[in-house]
Structure 1
Amino acid sequence: MALAQDRMTKRRAGDRFNDPVAAATTIYTGALVVLDASGNAAPGSTATGLKARGLCTERADNSSGAAGDIGVETETGVFCFANSAGADEIDRSDIKGTAYIVDDETVAATDGSSSRSAAGVIEDVDDAGVWVRIGA
């Protein structure tokens, strides 16, 4: 129903989230975090159907818990990840293209013959690694 009076609308900056952690899972600080098909957080891995959520800001150890027993704090933005190698190595010609998830700290230039999910947009490549925008 449309507003008929003023409303105090809640606001989030949209750069920090807290998601339930998948069962029997540990997510380390600095890891690329994804949401699985159930909406639970997990470390990035080579798989399809994952949604990049952000970077883990504090370790979440749910190794002996059920899904959702704890949450993980994530942050969106531009982060530096390790570069894949060989044909999957990202170079400067890939800037503004899509980076694909290899694991929770590595990204690649290709989807690995449709076996990898997207991490985000490649913003830069330098000696430190690949700078990827997640969640924008």
Structure 2
Amino acid sequence: MTALAQDRGTQRRDGVLGALAVITNDIIYGGSLVAVNADGYALPGGDTAGLIFQGVADARADNTGGDNGAIKCIVRRRGEFRFASASALTQANVGDAVFLSDDQTIALAGDVDNDIYCGVITEVVAAADCWVDITPALQQTDVATHIADVAGAHAASAISLADTGGYTAATEIEAALAEIYPHVPAVIADPGNAGAIPVTRSGNVALTTEAAETRTLADPAAAGLTLAVSLDVDGGDCVITAATAINQTGDNTITLGDAGDTVVLTSVQVGASPVWRVAVNDGAALTTVAG
């Protein structure tokens, strides 16, 4: 086909009512919840893997003895409908998503096996009686897959990223978050005597000593991190041994002797590798100790 060069009388439908080809040898009753199977044929809704909810039958469609598609079922694809609930409902369930239990019954997610999404509760009439807005379910593509999220359809790793500012080389949200999080300052737990101070993200680690203690500091995981190390509770000196030099002098050892002693390290790239460099030193003793 080629692009239009004049007006076109395009056929249109409101989308409130739809006609679905009915599965062989089955009956869809008027007012029932309707789904389609993997082959696209309509059948009574139920908690069956692979079904996708399609609406509420406007009238009976009896295809007893008929082949697939021999007749069609008219379904309503918008609006609120009153159905029984297989789950015990309370007022707190208003707004909750519901799923197919059978062709006249809905249920909450924990009470069905396959999570065939069919709408949202708008009113709880009684514990087993509610009004359901089916419109949200019909506005989704491949509803069952997205709600069950079996393939991670809603996961950050499945969402693409268009970075027009050139801030990242990541093409997915998950990868971009993995770049961002290490640079967001966090409270880093003291690993305790002889423990290794984490070096994968920016933050502050406040040390507590009960006697003369040690810590180790590996090279940073990436350039651009900022790590503040302070002596919070002074029960004795804390000697921190870095894997490589932390300044141009070649110092590789930090001694925090009094509460409040602090050293702030920033990670930079030297010789194609990330290393720590001292940005701030308030009270700490820096020395070179041979390995």
TM-score by length of 2: 0.42
Deviation of 1:63 (Å): 1.9
Q: Distance in 1 between matches of 2:76 and 2:123?
A: 19
Structure 1 stretches (4+) deviating beyond 6 angstroms? none
Letter in 2 for 1:79: F
Q: Distance in 2 between matches of 1:34 and 1:59?
A: 14
Contact 2:20 2:74 in 1 (8 A): yes
Aligned residue for 2:148?
Answer: none
Aligned residue for 2:84?
Answer: 82
Letter in 1 for 2:119: G
Aligned residue for 2:123?
Answer: 124
Corresponding position: 1:115 with 2:114: yes
Residues 15-74 of structure 1: per-residue CA shift (max 9 Å, x gap): 101111011211111111111111111111111221211111111111211111111111
Q: Distance in 1 between matches of 2:4 and 2:123?
A: 44
SS at match of 2:92: helix
Q: Distance in 2 between matches of 1:11 and 1:111?
A: 40
Q: Distance in 1 between matches of 2:100 and 2:35?
A: 9
Q: Distance in 2 between matches of 1:41 and 1:89?
A: 29
Where does 1:63-78 land on structure 2 (aligned, <5 Å)?
63-76=64-77, 77-78=79-80
Letter in 1 for 2:99: Y
Letter in 2 for 1:133: D
RMSD, aligned α-carbons: 2.0
Deviation of 1:113 (Å): 5.8
Identify if the C-alpha distance between structure 1 residues 63 and 78 changes in structure 2 by more than 3 Å, giving closer, same or farther: same
Deviation of 1:106 (Å): 0.4
Letter in 2 for 1:98: A
Contact 2:99 2:112 in 1 (8 A): no
Q: Distance in 2 between matches of 1:67 and 1:91?
A: 41
Q: Distance in 1 between matches of 2:119 and 2:47?
A: 14
Aligned residue for 1:102?
Answer: 101
SS at match of 1:107: strand
More helix by share: 2
Letter in 2 for 1:30: G
Contact 2:28 2:62 in 1 (8 A): yes
Deviation of 1:117 (Å): 0.9
Aligned residue for 2:9?
Answer: 8
Letter in 2 for 1:51: I
Count of aligned residue pairs for this structure pair: 133
Gap regions ≥5 residues in structure 2: 140-291
Contact 1:91 1:125 in 2 (8 A): yes
SS at match of 1:93: helix
SS at match of 2:109: coil
Q: Distance in 2 between matches of 1:99 and 1:113?
A: 10
TM-score by length of 1: 0.85
SS at match of 2:38: coil
Residues 77-109 of structure 1: per-residue CA shift (max 9 Å, x gap): 21111011xxx3233222222111000000001
Gap regions ≥5 residues in structure 1: none
